[in-house]
Amino acid sequence: MRGTGERTVLPPAKADELLGLLRALDVQGNASALITRDGSRIDLPDELYDVLHDVVYALSRGLAITVAPRHTVLTTGEAAELLGVSRPTLVRLLESGEIPYEQPGRHRRIRLDDLLAYENALDGPAQRGWTRWSACRRKRGFTRYLQTHTSSG
């Protein structure tokens, strides 16, 4: 059994070869299963199927993926990268109290759970002026789109 630490996977040399697998996943919908080496069939829960689909989609487009448990603690640089903002912008969000953080020594640490909660709050209508996650985040390789809205008063 593998550990629960963070793991980054680089795309294969011929990432486009995954397109056949991606098409098969699209056709199967959420009725997928794994077949073990001994021939046993294990049905995949919908949540695991969605993760597998997202991983195959990203890798087929030449993107690396990182899998991290939700209890992961991030540096300010890592958190800024995940949000798609500069590190100074992230620090302002931390210092304003919008995102909780811990500072056990000199360096701030952000729990992945808190960062994801902040991102989910951005999807609300009260946050229209902020950057939002597109639905493509889940189905198109975790691509982040920035939408800038101007206030008309």
pTM for the whole structure: 0.48
Strand 33-35 relative to strand 41-43, pairing = antiparallel
Cα–Cα distances (Å) from 116 to 51, 64, 67, 100, 147, in that order, read 16, 20, 14, 11, 18
> Stretch 122-136: mean pLDDT, rounded?
45
> What is the Cα–Cα distance from 68 to 5, expressed in whole angstroms?
6
Domains of the chain: 7-67 (no CATH), 73-139 (1.10.1660)
> Stretch 17-44: mean pLDDT, rounded?
82
pLDDT tens digits for range 57-76: 888 888 888 877 767 889 99
Beta partners for 35? 41
